[in-house]
Structure 1
Amino acid sequence: LRLVERETDGVAGHPHAAELAAALATAFGHTSYEVQGRAARIALKRAAALAPAGHVLAEAVPLLPEALGARVADRFGGEVARQEQQERPEAFTPPPLPAPAVPEPFPEPTLDVWESVYTWVDGERWLAAFVRRAAADREGLRRTLAEQFGGVHPQVHPQESWVDVSDWIAAMAAEVTGPAEPAAASAGPEQTGGGAEWTSGGQERSGGLEQAIGGLLEAAWNEAARLFGFQPQSGQAAGRAAGRAAGQAFGWAAGQAFGWADDPASGWAAGRAAGPAGVARPSLPPPDRVAPLHLFLLRRLDEIYRALRAGTLPPVLLATPTLTTGHLAPDVLVERLAECAAAGVEPLPADLAQALLRLPRGHHP
């Protein structure tokens, strides 16, 4: 097209008009509307130079869309291709939406869904049944959970924080089914604040084993001091330091086995927080690690677990839905609040917040 335009510029009756017109005729049949339009414009602009071969362009007019063909036919002749009038499609009318299903009552709370607590419905049912049974029939709850879990809990390994619902569920089961924590033999300045109490006084140690392990650890600590160039500790201080190092490496189990009290600044207090039952005490993940809605769910699990340990569980959870839509009937919430008040127990904050979010829209006197 550039060649045709350049060759016919300022020329009348070009000697090679036939060849140039044939090139434009080929472009008339191109699949691109832009190419067709440019060819038609050149034909009209260089009509004087292409006049000797006007019949070639006239024969190619049917190849052009109707609007372009009409303009070229006015100058060179030819039959314009008439486009068929397309019928407008009928306006789309969406079918009527089906009537919304009537909400069904929420399934009854039960502990028999512990294998599917990762689903929101079964998770709510398990939590509601757990809290209710913990308040009304603790021994029956212990037997049921011991049979279900079989003493196997996935969270026995140390973790900084728990993001899986199943970990929290297993921790609650372990708290109910596990052995009671031993009481401290004596109250001294080196007692820790949680779990089993251990002192450096020696009441909880077996003398021979403690002395053997202490001697080995002290020797290892002195050798480390020699290699790395710091002042070695001796005696019981070395044993305590080595015990902290062992606790850092092996968590609570090693620290308890060696029998030295932990220091919050030692770096393994979190590992020791596992407790004597061997089940790690969970903590919430930082907000930047999980989605906000999931963190809210974990917050509910965390407060239930801690209330269980503190003996402050309410007799009933407030937020358990009453409908499969997730809604909570206002009158049922009032009844549950009254039950908590009668038991003299404060509702759990996150549970109360979730209950209020599940109320249906509207004003509920």
Structure 2
Amino acid sequence: MSLDWETVDRRARSGDQPGVARLILEATEPERLAFAKAVESGIKGTDPEVYWRAHVDPAPGYALAVIGTAPTAARAATMLLRRGLRDSWQRIQLGRLTQIADARHLDWLGELGERLCVRLPTRDVWDGGDWAFAAGLLHAGGAQPPVTEGVVRGWLARLIGLRDGRTPPLSGRLRDDPHLDLLLPGVFEIDGMGADIYHATWGEDPAQKSGMRFHDAVAALVAEGRLERKPILAATVDRLARGDKPNALRPFVLLHDELAPTVDEIAAHALDYARLLAEGPGAIATLAQRCLRTLDDTGRLDVDTLLESSLPVLFRKEKALVKAQITWLEKVARREPERAAEVFETVAAAFGHPALDIQERALTLITRHLPALPADTVARIAEATTALAGDLPARAAAVFGTTVGAGPGPELPPYPGPALMPAPITAAAELAEEIAVLVHEESGVRWERVLAALVSLHSDGRGEELATVLPPLLDRYPGELSDDTWNRGAALACLGAAISVATGRPRDHGTHQRLYGAVRTARQEGRRGGIGSDLSSAPDGVLALRIAEIAVHLNGSMMPMLVATPTHVNGNLDPEVLLDRLSRAEAEGWQPWPFDLEQALLRLPRTEVPAEVTRRATALTSPAGRQLAQWLGSGGLPDPASELFMQVPAIHERGFVWGVDVPRRMAATLRPSRDGGLRLERQLLTLDPPAHPKWAPDQFGERPGVLAMVLPHHREVAAAWAIGELAALADQDQRGNGRLLPLLAEGTGRIGPALTYGMAYTFGAKQEADRAAAVDAFLMMAAGPEPFAGPVGAALADLASDSAVKLNRVLPALSDVHRSGGSAAIWELLTAALPPLLAANHRALADLLELATQVAVAIGARTEIPGLAAVAGRPGTSRLVREAKRLHAALAA
């Protein structure tokens, strides 16, 4: 019979794989080959939405038609890798496929399997279904898989994922798998494979949920001789030595423990263990320390290797590991007195550890053995005591007869202020390049340069150049630069409309009408969002409104320039520069667009304006000039009222908690302090947070500069709008939003509860990069005139009370500020945070007291801290009591 696409398509769309196979089998081979082009054309012409909107997925039927007609493995692979067909591999009836291949006497099924294996995904592999399909083809064709990352991940995911109660345990599946010897080494060699094992957690077996099944299975195969012990142990140690993320290494740590290496096996990998001790994550370094101590106990560890690996260990943050290393070194010194001098010089490296109790342990140990050490060794150790901190330099001076170093640590340099804006864009090609970058990475500075250039180049008669280089961007980025339901009112979509206007490209009348309506609504009613406006009502909507204003008015008036373009990267606009721009406008007879002018006024600093600028402004007669003079005379935009607002999780009527699983989240309300004013200001200064926290808020995270540059001299306003995103860094372990804080620190204005709580939340962020941003912002603000550190300390104490912020995350950041010269500000923070934490007996209090001692000694503080004497007077020798006594003594010295 002859084949036709309509019949094949109809059966495929009805899910009739046997029917499709029957059509292929009943045809002759010449008919099949002749039908191949029709199959390819039919599949390529299928609407992509058919694959996910159809009641029955037609892709498996299409795949059988491909196998039944393709002349080569290459042609078949090309079709099977198409997006619609690729998603259907797991639903293809492999028996039907091999039946067709047998009828055609195909000799390229193995090659097809190899081609598909090369394209297997390396991320989001899930259950390895794609691998299972490719493996079926390999088996049918008698071929072996290539050892690629996608193959190894798919193979392992399939083995781990088969848990339906009828399959044998993982050890049995591994034992019987034909690819075990070929692919298992890749599990150890490919980075991140351990995470695939660790995250295979579904099922009822608790052991399975901790990733234990893999290590149990491999160890069982080693014990029975199916796998050779020596290469498996070597691969395990090598995997640990090469490093990876902690959860990716955990299965190999468990396998190492299960294999329980002998002394001889540890000796064979002694250098690897030494490296792990120095550089590995905490759990792995502890494993290495245990193995090396076992080796040392048998007299088979070289002392030089021990001393060399000990130096980096003595600076590690894991205190238990460092203390164990110091104890071990003392044991070696007692056992080999001829090496004692070298050992204790090594121990002296711990004087530089950031924790005072580690420094104290090292000093106490060395002091005990000092009489037996040579004079030159004692002299070198005495020099090393300069690294001691807190009250320990005085103790060392008494022991070694040295003098105590005087003076505080490094001083905080004055903050030079924000940088000037980059040079303006002067060429259409440069503008096109900047817009292409903007699509991928929005920033406030980049937005301002693009808008300024679009207007100035258009007014300079460069329309032909713009029409040549900008329209291709609209075609290249249709999803971002066009108006659609998902991005309607977004700044990039508004920019696409403005580009169309600037280049004479036919405009979308629906888009133009929506933008015109949004601008009109903002002018008449002073709002964005709601009926008549698709723009965001949040501060980032001001940018979209300004772009909409450009798109609406660009061809209606030959505006030579924007007046709101800032002079500094934080959004600040020099009053004299704005005065010059408005003076030019008055002289040339043009008026700035309304929202361009309002944004310009909102960017003016609120400090005293030079008298000459005020005099020149009052001499202007244009509406814009008179508005500038009035703005300067009134002192600009007054601070709004901002108050804390506590959000709590929403509770379903049956007691189920929806949304954010946090005890509470602090937000802030805003209220303008005057009536009237600019059209923009009421909406910017009015904020009523929802009653319940939002899950993973991210409105401003991708472009924090846009938020900060709207009101650069009212940073409390920006902080109030973004405090949810800063809070989520700590209570939801989000990332990236800390970038906003240094931008706010570069601004000016009142520091209120939103900014202080935002700083406290960011100090407690999970990600180190966000905490580093908080450190940078704190140092910049500490160099300014506004007092703020005390309120931040009070906020930290409040948030730590119910672990909304974890103090163990905060402490390293505070220590970084202290080491960077911000000691006075950190002391102000600590004196505000310590009293409530002492009263609450917080579990991380000992570490905070230790830091307080270091800071107090560095600046010579004598402040009385309420509640400290009571804790220092408690009986016992707990670390909390010891650190309280240390701080109390330092303050009384």
**TM-score band, normalised by shorter chain:** 0.3 to 0.5
Higher relative contact order (CA 8 A, sep 6+): 1
TM-score, structure 1 length as denominator?
0.43
Larger gyration radius, structure 1 or structure 2: 1
What is the TM-score of this pair, normalised by structure 2?
A: 0.19
Structure with more helix by fraction = 2
